[in-house]
Amino acid sequence: MSSQKPLPPSLNQPHVDAYPKPPFERQKQPFPGLASKMVPVPDHGETSYQGSSRLEGRKALVTGGDSGIGRAVAIAFAREGADVAINYLPEEEPDAREVVDLLRSEGRKIIAIPGDLRDEQFCQRLVKEAAEQLGGLDLLVNNAGRQQFCNSIKDLTTEAFDATFKTNVYAMFWITKAALDYLPRGSSVINTTSVQAFLPSENLLDYSQTKASIVAFTKSLAKQLAPDGIRVNAVAPGPYWTVLQTSGGQPQEKVEKFGEQAPLGRPGQPAEIAALYVAFASPESSYSSGQVWCSDGGTGTL
């Protein structure tokens, strides 16, 4: 039973009760969608995230950095002192422009590089351009993802299956491989997996497979790169309020109740997970590699 005690004055917002709970409006967008059109608009930490110079002088590439968790990570990294390059699809330019304008207004260096990660040659160009424009690269966040629900394997086309694997798995492989030409000792690679890797939903057959693959990739590569002094870890979000869900990631009836099943009774906001990426990126976590950290609102998946 909740005690409903008032917060002590020292506990600043946001806290566990600070964010919206379902039911939410029905809101369908074509993939990949825009966070700016969601109701409510997600909190990426635009006003809430306060840095403390934990990543001063670092150079980061964040894929899917226009919205959702990637945007929250880009904001957090920049406010911790890093220069950041973000990648996104050209259709997501309005969302990307918001985060670029925000961080540049704060005096941070942020590079925007649109393009489709399903193209191997683009992935190679992305890494090269990010490293050249940032003057190096020592943080890589493989976050961009594709999620489209499908209720039956009979209806899951090869084209859709291929697009999900190309976006979520192949791109991670291509980008990380290219980044190794730039990443020095002390660098950190952070991949975004999902609770779907461990508790897959029946309507996310292809997506959940890719997220399980990311876990295996992370653990294997961490061992491979340990002699080079490069750490590889992953973050596993549970139900987070991002445009991935409202642009085909979930059926609309599930969007209305999204996050309701979590013990906290709501979806997470992107701002609430960014600190995990900061922790993995920072030198304080120098002995953590091959790990998967979960944030799922109390379900305790991992």
- Half-sphere exposure at residue 157, Cβ-oriented, CA atoms within 13 angstroms: 4
Collapsing DSSP states into helix, strand and coil, what is residue 59? strand
Which helix (DSSP H) or strand (DSSP E) does residue 172 occupy? helix 171-179
CB 220 within 8 A of CB 248: no
- Cα–Cα distance measured from residue 88 to residue 144, given in angstroms and rounded to the nearest whole number: 8
Backbone angles phi, psi at 114, to 5 degrees: -75, 150
**Alpha-carbon distance values, 293 to 27, 89, 118, 274 (Å):** 30, 27, 26, 12
The residues facing 141 across adjacent strands are 62, 190
The Cα-based distances of 14 to 59, 88, 184, 196 in angstroms read: 28, 28, 36, 27
User: Any idea which residues carry the catalytic annotation?
Assistant: 207
**Distance between CA atoms of residues 10 and 19, nearest Å:** 19
Residue 173 phi/psi, 5-degree rounding, is: -65, -50
Q: Would you say 19 and 43 are in contact if contact means Cβ atoms under 8 Å apart? A: yes
Whether the Cβ atoms of residue 73 and residue 275 lie closer than 8 Å to each other:
no
Collect all residues with Cβ–Cβ distance below 8 Å to 27 and sequence separation of at least 6. 37, 38, 39, 246, 252, 255
**β-pair type (139-142, 59-63):** parallel
